[in-house]
Structure 1
Amino acid sequence: MTIKIYGPSASRASRALWIVHELGIPFEHIAVEMKDLKSPEYLKINPNGKVPTLVDGDFKLFESMAINLYLAEKHGKEGFFPASAEDRAICTQWSFWGMTEVEKSLLTVLIDMFMTPPDKKKPEAVAEALKALPKPFGVLNGALEGREYLLGTKFTVADLNLASICSWAKPIKYDFGPFPNVQAWLDRCLSRPAYKAARK
């Protein structure tokens, strides 16, 4: 059965699109427009009126990280969704950490830079967001010391989920100079063919 992924590719739905390409899962992409998210039809699928949403048969799921962890567990090849409870917990840890420690700050800068009219820009909020990022990127830089990926030498759902968030640093041209391990890791993750396929 083909799963369905709802949401434009230039949204958090890109995370789910990346993982289905990564794992070779048959899928249908329904690029529902933002203006249609409050329609009665869509609200039956996701009462939050947000994207992404996954529909897998009778099973419906929202929240991008929950979707990706579900797909990784159900379809993941050996190692992509780790076998041990400890390593799976680390995948969850980095997925949640990215959303709580990094996502809001990157999104604040991205929206202000590309989606906000000149008269509505908030330089103070952007400055505050940029000021907040070195701390988490320092943590991540330390975690990646001496390793290619978050769990070692193998690319896992932890890397995909966190890199999907950190990818927002690219369009804003964030300077990873002080965090060379993060820069190398992110470039490694975003050079994957599945990431590029998800953005088409």
Structure 2
Amino acid sequence: MYTLFYYPRNASLAPHFVLEALQVPYQLELVDRKKNVQRSAQYLRLNPTGRIPTLVDDEFVLFESAAICLYLCEKHPEGNLIPSESQHRAEFYQWLMYLTTTVQAELMIYFYPERHTQSALMYDDIIRTQQSRVQDMLTLLDRHLADKTYMVGEQFTVCDCYLFMLCIWADELAKPPLQFEHLGRYLAGISRHPAIEAVCKKEGTELGMYR
């Protein structure tokens, strides 16, 4: 059985979606960020980065959200969360890399401006800049989804799990994802996926705004 070390609405959300979508046995282990458990000696032995999530599969330990998602999908190809056709698979990796290395990275700067300057006077400026940068990325995603139900091809994939997680994080932006025409429609549809519904119920994330 897999063990996912998680915290609600954290970067563990995408792997949690994947575990649920694959319908494999797993258990959750809360890493209480309010108590800085992610910095405890016990947790750091599992994950030396001190970040969430971590996946334990018997004696094998893995961190980084995207790596966990891909590992799970490769172990359970019957789940069809990675496209099999070569060009769709290439597009899948393209969008997953964009979501992880660009959108997620820019959101982290928005949420933690203090990590990117030594002057508190710069916090508001960083936040405003990141709002604008993330809006541009959401606009790009909105255009991509203009005629699509899913991020890649005609199937639910890890990219949909990842994008839904990031859009939950971004719901506090001046123009949140739901205010984009195509992205908003897409999120409404994805919110009805059984895995999304089940995980959000477990983690206490309200989906009413997407309906």
Same fold (TM over 0.5): yes
Structure 1 unaligned segments of length 5 or more: list them. 113-118
> Which residue pairs with 1:15 in the alignment?
14
1:36 and 1:120 map into 2 onto residues whose CA distance is 30
Aligned twin of 2:133: 132
Specify the alignment match of 1:66 in structure 2.
67
CA distance in 2 between counterparts of 1:41 and 1:88 reads 38
Q: Conserved in 1, the CA contact under 8 Å of 2:170 and 2:177? A: no
Deviation, structure 1 residue 143: 2.0
* Displacement of 1:153: 2.4
Q: Which moved more, 1:32-41 or 1:66-75?
A: 32-41
Decide whether the 8 Å contact of 1:43 with 1:49 is kept in 2: yes
TM-score where L is the length of structure 1: 0.82
C-alpha spacing 1:89/1:14, structure 2 compared with 1 (3 Å): same
The 2-side partners of 1:134 and 1:37 are apart by: 31
Q: Which runs of 5+ in 2 are unaligned?
A: 114-119, 204-211
- Distance in 2, matches of 1:137 and 1:38, equals 33
Cα deviation for residue 103 of structure 1 reads: 2.0
Kept in 1, the 8 Å contact 2:131–2:174? The answer is no
Measure how far apart 1:68 and its partner are: 0.7
Letter in 1 for 2:4: I
Q: Does 1:89 align with 2:90?
A: yes
SS in structure 1 of the partner of residue 126 of structure 2: helix
C-alpha RMSD of matched pairs (Å): 2.6
Contact 2:22–2:79 under 8 Å retained in 1: no
Structure ranking higher on relative contact order (CA contacts 8 Å, 6+ apart) = 1
Shift of 1:19: 1.2
Query: In the comparison of the two structures, how many residue pairs are matched?
Result: 193
Amino acid corresponding to residue 75 of structure 2 in structure 1: K
Which structure has greater helix proportion?
Answer: 2
**Aligned 8 A contact 1:99 1:165 in 2:** no
* Amino acid of the structure 2 residue aligned with 1:198: V
User: Which moves more between the two structures, 154-163 or 53-62?
Assistant: 154-163
Residues 67-121 of structure 1: per-residue CA shift (max 9 Å, x gap): 0111122224454221134323322221221123322443455568xxxxxx999
Q: In structure 2, what residue type is equivalent to 1:162?
A: L
Q: Which amino acid aligns with 2:39?
A: K
Please give the alpha-carbon distance, in whole angstroms, between the structure 1 residues aligned to 2:69 and 2:192.
19
Distance apart, 1:172 and its partner CA: 4.0
Query: Who is 1:31 aligned against?
Result: 30
Q: Distance in 2 between matches of 1:58 and 1:12?
A: 22
